[in-house]
């Protein structure tokens, strides 16, 4: 082992350790790795940041923008609307949900496809009187399977295509293997696998997660109150309970003002409809001198007055990219800055019955928020929150579906026909969506997951250093000693399973970048088809079913489904075995 190889292995070992440790963001870790090999002189300074202009990075960014354009155009919403007609049979619901999410994931970002269908799955579960845990994990796994079918379905496929000598893989070159494992996976999940998912209830009593009516009370501003003539903001601030007592409505002369502005001036006799637990309510009454008008604690249903007109109550989940992480509602001042009432919070499938304003939000927390319909979606997107199920789900609005679908189909046709290279066609489609108003430039930039872009741009030179120093050949030689005498099918199986295990603990794009040069070196030594080993790596990098940290799709469904870390392998392990058993023969048949 040379000194340069030793440095590369040390950098990669440290990088993998930091990925698994998960205390630093993966894009920060990747930039540290890039800087380390730069300081060591393993990459020329003029090539250090070439990854930011790499075709794979540009393609990933374009796909993310196109995904948002298709969302804005209502393409997937219209598909989702059809799912409401499939009935309450679990097998039929699973078949339709996993099939639709897989189809969508083949052409748009798989996390985006999952985000669009999660509200549908939650709504279908509650309509059928079942826990969402039955549908959400299969839905997440379906999104991962579907991403394997096309070049643009998932970042690992785009990365693997860049390692191919000569012409890159075409848009549908991944389809034979990807479609085979997707069909097999959907069949397994629908017929057998769903029985392996854990059964989690929405709450301790099996009822709805948020029974808001149990916490709603009417408070009256009495005569001679010091708060009469002052603003609602003044009342909440003086009470020091701004986020623990949530004002849902103001009633004056039998007229109701939903989600009133905090600058609303109070008058004697006003009635405030508030949401609070018993302790917070008592403290609020003691601090303000308001009086109980009539209590609604015994009500079993959410009062209709708090969810009507252009005011919505919406359940949302905090995503890994959310700015709410490790913050409190009090510190963020969500009502003043974003017009959102945080009515309730649930964690690990149970509603927290303590002061919401002082709780530090975590990834996967479910919030029940109240806000104005016209601004609610924008504010939630800005905060990095994903809607789960609106009270009274509404889907399928006409948002220029034909325009969005037509632009995307035009890009696909130009790629398949060979008129344009994939990066050119996809960037052109993204620009066309902006020019036609499907999304504005600001939305286009927001649609790009810059952490993934930085990860790819930084790790591509690191992977290049592994190959340039001979480190990839050295690892391949050690693997050859282990696999000496094995049949090609077993070698592909080792590569696929090894990459799959790695992608369950590190980002799948990073796994593809690290394993691809090693796989190519093994292919050279064993006289195997390079395309075959690249396909094995692509499948392994995309199929992380064993842990919630293996992929964002897995992490997103963890809290809404009430899953625990160890729940994923129950369905994920047999699905991983099935993927390996199906993928290896198809790879040999098509690519050897």
What are the pLDDT digits (tens) for 533-565?
Answer: 999 999 999 999 998 877 888 888 887 887 887
- Does residue 278 have a pLDDT over 80? no
Let me know whether 200 and 227 are in one domain. no
Lowest mean pLDDT among 166-175, 295-304, 497-506, 577-586: 295-304
CA distances to 98, 355, 421, 555 from 546, in Å: 18, 35, 35, 11
86 alpha-carbon distance from chain centroid? 25
Q: Do 425 and 570 fall into the same domain?
A: yes
Residue 148 has pLDDT above 90, yes or no: yes
Residue 13: other Cβ atoms inside 10 A: 10
How would you class 40 by CB atoms within 10 Å of its CB: exposed for 0-12, middle for 13-18, buried for 19 or more?
middle
Q: Does the pLDDT at position 303 exceed 80?
A: no
Question: How long, in residues, is the chain?
Answer: 592
Q: With 90 as the cut, is the pLDDT of residue 186 above it?
A: yes
Residues 405 and 361 reside in one and the same domain:
no
Looking at the structure, tell me whether residues 199 and 310 fall in a common domain. Answer: no
Q: What per-residue confidence (pLDDT) applies to 377?
A: 76
pLDDT tens profile 468-492: 888 888 888 887 777 777 788 999 9
Task: Give the pLDDT band of residue 414 (cuts 50, 70, 90).
Answer: very high
The last residue of one of the domains, among 333, 364, 390, is: 390
Looking at the structure, do residues 309 and 220 belong to the same domain, yes or no? yes
Percent of the chain with pLDDT over 90: 24
- Same domain, yes or no, for 474 and 501? yes
Q: How many domains does the chain contain in total?
A: 2
Higher pLDDT, 549 or 465: 465
Please tell me whether residues 433 and 417 are part of one structural domain: yes
Of 390, 412, 446, the last residue of a domain is 390
Say whether both 153 and 222 belong to one domain: no
Look up the domain containing 555 and give its range: 1-204+398-592
Predicted confidence (pLDDT) at residue 103 exceeds the cutoff of 50: yes
Tell me what the pLDDT averaged over the chain comes to.
Answer: 82
Q: What is the CATH number of the domain that holds 237?
A: 3.30.70.1450
- Residue with the larger pLDDT of the pair 193 and 79: 193
- Closest-CA residue to 319 (of 375, 361, 357): 361
- 226 and 200 in a common domain: no
Question: Where a domain ends, among 373, 390, 407?
Answer: 390
Do 347 and 228 lie in a common domain? yes
Task: For residue 263, give Cα distances in angstroms to 25, 221, 237.
Answer: 39, 16, 12
Q: Among residues 410, 427, 418, 412, which one has the least CA distance to residue 58?
A: 427
Q: In this structure, how many other beta carbons lie within 10 angstroms of the beta carbon of residue 476? A: 22
In 3D, which of 420, 548, 452, 330 has the Cα closest to residue 67?
Answer: 452
**Claim to verify: residue 223 and residue 79 sit in the same structural domain:** no
Same domain? For 46 and 189 the reply is yes
For residues 285 and 584, the model is more confident at 584
More confident site: 423 or 115: 423
């Amino acid at each position: 082992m040379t000194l340069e190889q030793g440095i590369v292995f040390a950098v990669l070992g440290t990088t993998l350790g930091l990925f698994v440790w998960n205390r630093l963001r993966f894009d920060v870790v990747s930039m540290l790795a890039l800087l380390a090999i730069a300081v060591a002189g393993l990459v020329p300074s003029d090539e250090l940041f070439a990854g930011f202009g790499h075709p794979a990075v540009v393609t990933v960014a374009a796909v993310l923008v196109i995904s948002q354009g298709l969302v804005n155009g209502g393409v997937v919403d219209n598909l989702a609307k059809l799912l409401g007609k499939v009935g309450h049979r679990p097998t039929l619901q699973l078949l339709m949900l996993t099939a639709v999410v897989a189809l969508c994931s083949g052409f748009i970002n798989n996390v985006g496809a999952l985000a669009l269908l999660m509200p549908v799955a939650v709504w279908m579960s509650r309509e059928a009187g079942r826990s969402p845990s039955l549908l959400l994990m299969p839905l997440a796994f379906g999104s991962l399977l579907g991403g394997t079918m096309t070049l643009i379905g998932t970042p690992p496929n785009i990365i693997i295509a860049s390692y191919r000598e000569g012409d890159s893989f075409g848009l549908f070159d991944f389809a034979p293997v990807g479609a085979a494992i997707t069909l097999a996976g959907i069949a397994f999940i629908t017929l057998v696998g769903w029985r392996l998912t854990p059964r989690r209830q929405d709450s301790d009593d099996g009822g709805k997660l948020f029974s808001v009516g149990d916490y709603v009370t009417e408070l009256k501003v009495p005569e001679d109150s010091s708060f009469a003539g002052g603003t609602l903001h003044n009342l909440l601030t003086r009470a020091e309970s701004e986020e623990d007592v949530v004002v849902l409505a103001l009633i004056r002369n039998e007229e109701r003002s939903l989600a009133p502005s905090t600058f609303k001036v109070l008058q004697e006799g006003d009635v405030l409809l508030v949401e609070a637990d018993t302790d917070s309510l008592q403290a609020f009454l003691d601090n303000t001198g308001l009086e109980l008008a009539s209590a609604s604690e015994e009500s079993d249903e959410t009062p209709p007055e708090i969810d009507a007109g252009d005011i919505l109550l919406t359940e949302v989940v905090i995503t890994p990219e959310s700015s709410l992480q490790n913050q409190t509602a009090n510190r963020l001042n969500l009502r003043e800055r974003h017009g959102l009432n945080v009515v309730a919070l649930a964690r690990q499938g149970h509603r927290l019955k303590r002061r919401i304003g002082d709780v530090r939000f975590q990834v996967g927390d479910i919030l029940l928020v109240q806000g104005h319909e016209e601004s609610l979606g924008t504010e939630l997107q800005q905060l990095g929150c994903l809607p789960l199920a609106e009270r009274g789900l509404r889907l399928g609005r006409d948002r220029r579906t034909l325009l969005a679908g037509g632009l995307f189909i035009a890009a696909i046709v130009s790629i398949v026909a060979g008129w344009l290279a994939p990066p050119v066609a996809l960037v052109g489609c993204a620009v066309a969506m902006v020019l036609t108003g499907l999304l504005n430039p600001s939305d286009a930039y927001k649609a790009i997951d810059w952490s993934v872009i930085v990860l790819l741009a930084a790790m591509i030179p690191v992977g290049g250093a592994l190959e340039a120093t001979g480190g990839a050949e050295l690892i391949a030689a050690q693997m050859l000693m282990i696999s000496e005498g094995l049949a090609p099918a077993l070698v592909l199986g080792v590569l696929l399973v090894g990459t799959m295990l790695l992608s369950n603990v590190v980002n799948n794009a990073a796994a593809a970048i690290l394993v691809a040069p090693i796989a190519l070196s093994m292919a050279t030594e064993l006289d195997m088809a390079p395309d075959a080993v690249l396909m094995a790596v692509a499948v392994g990098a995309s199929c992380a079913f064993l842990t919630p940290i293996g992929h964002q799709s897995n992490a997103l469904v963890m809290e809404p489904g009430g899953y625990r870390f160890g729940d994923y392998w129950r369905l994920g392990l047999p699905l991983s075995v099935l993927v390996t058993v199906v993928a290896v023969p198809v790879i040999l048949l098509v690519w050897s």
